[in-house]
Amino acid sequence: MKTNSTVRRMRGTVEAETSVETVVCPKCGQRFAIRGDAAVQSAGLMEKQAAWVQDQLVWDHIQERKHHGTMELPDLLCAAGV
């Protein structure tokens, strides 16, 4: 089963209420909300998604580019063992 999870830059507190997980960029402090079907996602999958997002955010700083406003998460179900 494929998850349709996305990541969006958070601009307010309303978005935090609809997100499954929140990731903060370690370099600049911008917050990003991982959104998806909470019923489908396990704790292990959420951890893998958060780690993937943090890697992308760090890579953005290494490449000296701005963070994307929205990102689609890759299918990490197989990697999470779900």
Number of Cβ within 10 Å of residue 45's Cβ equals 22
1 belongs to a structural domain: no
Number of domain units in the chain: 1
27 belongs to a structural domain: yes
Its pTM stands at 0.77
49 belongs to a structural domain: yes
Per-residue confidence band for 77, with pLDDT thresholds at 50, 70 and 90: low
7 neighbors 34 (Cβ within 8 angstroms)? yes
Range of the domain at 73: 6-80
Tens digit of pLDDT for each residue in 14-38? 555 566 788 999 899 999 998 877 6
57 belongs to a structural domain: yes
Per-residue confidence band for 46, with pLDDT thresholds at 50, 70 and 90: confident
